[in-house]
Structure 1
Amino acid sequence: MNDITSNETRDVILDVTEKLIYKIGIAATGMDLLVKTAGVSRKSIYRYFTNKDDLVLAALQRRDERWMHWYRSEVGNAETPAGRLLNLFTVLKSWFESEGFRGCAFINTSGETGDPHDPVRLLAKEHKRKLLEYVRELCVEHGVQDPDTLASQLLILIDGAITVALVMGDHQAADNAQQIARTLLNLK
C-alpha cells in the first residue's frame, strides 16, 4: 500500500464500502470488515472520512453518479424518442441478468433507515428525483401531453421492476414493465 497515492487509497476505501453495502447492507458493513476487505488501516479510513456515516454517504454518492451515467448512456443508445423510453426497461433487464445484481442500492439502504430525514434516505430521495427528471426529459423528447404524470408512472414501473427482479428473482419483470409502458405510450 505504500506506493498507492492518497486518491487511490480513498478510491479503494470507497469501492470496498460501496460493494459491501450493496452486498450485505449498511448495518452489516462494520469498520473491522472494511479495514480487512480494503487492506487499509482504520487510521487511513479516518484520514478521509470523519466516521462511518460520512463514508457510507460518499460511497452512495459515487454510486449515484456512476449508475446514472451508465443508465443514461445505455438508454440513450436507442435511436428514437419512443425507443429510448422503452429502452429504460431493456437496460434494466440487462442489469437484472448481470452477476451480482442485488436490486437498487438506494431502495435497499433506505430500508435500513427509519428516519425520513436521515442523510442516507435524503440521498436516496435525490437519486430518485434525478431518475424521475431523466425520465421526464425522455417524455418531453417524445412529445407526450403530460410529461410529469407519465414520468411519475414510469418511475413506479422502473422501481417496481427492480424490486420484483430482486425479491422474486424474475428478470422478466423488466419485460412486463415495458409492456405496461407501451400501453401508457400507446405503442404496439
Structure 2
Amino acid sequence: MNEITGNETRDIILDVTEKLIYRSGIAATGMDLLVKTAGVSRKSVYRYFTNKDDLIVAALKRRDERWMHWFSSEVDKASSPTERLFNLFTVLKGWFDSEGFRGCAFINTSGETGDPQDPVRQVAKMHKQKLLDYVTRLCVEQGVEDPDALARQLLILIDGAITVALVMGDHSAADHAQDMLKILLHA
C-alpha cells in the first residue's frame, strides 16, 4: 500500500485548488468543494494553509512558476531573436487551441478582487511583471531602439489576445497580435 506523504498531500491540495479556481473562479471554489475534489480532510487543508486566501495565493504562485517556465521554454525554441518575438503569439495560439483554455488565471482572479493590495492582485501583478521582464529581455536581444517601450506594447498585445480569445472565442487573436508586432517592428 502506498502511503501519501505530507508534501504529496500539499501538492494535491494545490493542484486541485488551481484547477478549480481556473475553471470556476475564487468565489465558486468553496472549501467543501475543494475538500471533496481533493479527497482530503478539511484539517489537512488547514495543516498546510492558514485560510482559503493563503491557499489561493499559494496555488497562483505555483501556477505562475509553471506557466512562465512553459511559456518561456516554448518561445525560446525559436532560433533567432526576431523569431522568438513572433513565437510569443504562435505559442499563445497553441495555448488558446488547447483543451481547457480559460484565459489568464491572473487576469481572471484579479477581476474577483476589488482591493489593489489584495494578495491575489499582488500575485497577479508579480506574474505580469515577470512576463514583462521576459518580453523586455527578448526585445533587448532583438536590439530594438527602446526595448522597454516595445515590451510594454507587447504585454498589452499578449493580454489583449488572451482576453479576446477567451471572451470572443476568437483564437485568431494571436495572429492579429502577431500582425501588430510586424507593424511595431517596422515603425
Task: Using structure 1 for the length normalisation, give the TM-score.
Answer: 0.98
Report how far residue 154 of structure 1 moved. Answer: 0.3
The 5 A counterparts of 1:10-159 are 10-159=10-159
Report how far residue 64 of structure 1 moved. Answer: 0.2
- Which whole-Å CA distance do the structure 2 matches of 1:174 and 1:137 have between them? 20
One-letter amino acid of the counterpart of residue 76, structure 2: G
- Which whole-Å CA distance do the structure 2 matches of 1:91 and 1:112 have between them? 27
Report how far residue 106 of structure 1 moved. Answer: 0.2
Identity of aligned residues (%): 78
- Which whole-Å CA distance do the structure 1 matches of 2:71 and 2:100 have between them? 17
One-letter amino acid of the counterpart of residue 160, structure 1: G
One-letter amino acid of the counterpart of residue 169, structure 2: G
Task: Name the CA shift for 1:181/1:113 in 2 (closer, same or farther; >3 Å).
Answer: same
SS at match of 1:28: coil
What is the aligned-residue RMSD (CA, Å)? 1.2
The 5 A counterparts of 1:168-183 are 168-183=168-183
- Which whole-Å CA distance do the structure 2 matches of 1:18 and 1:46 have between them? 16
- Which whole-Å CA distance do the structure 2 matches of 1:158 and 1:62 have between them? 21
One-letter amino acid of the counterpart of residue 14, structure 1: L
Task: Name structure 2 gaps, 5 residues minimum.
Answer: none
- Which whole-Å CA distance do the structure 2 matches of 1:59 and 1:177 have between them? 29
Match of 2:6 in 1: 6
- Which whole-Å CA distance do the structure 1 matches of 2:78 and 2:54 have between them? 37
- Which whole-Å CA distance do the structure 2 matches of 1:124 and 1:177 have between them? 22
Report how far residue 136 of structure 1 moved. Answer: 0.3
Report how far residue 186 of structure 1 moved. Answer: 2.0
Task: Name the CA shift for 1:2/1:52 in 2 (closer, same or farther; >3 Å).
Answer: farther
Task: Name structure 1 gaps, 5 residues minimum.
Answer: none
- Which whole-Å CA distance do the structure 2 matches of 1:131 and 1:115 have between them? 22
Report how far residue 2 of structure 1 moved. Answer: 7.4
- Which whole-Å CA distance do the structure 2 matches of 1:107 and 1:13 have between them? 22
* Deviation >4 Å, runs of 4+: none
Report how far residue 182 of structure 1 moved. Answer: 1.1
- Which whole-Å CA distance do the structure 2 matches of 1:2 and 1:77 have between them? 39
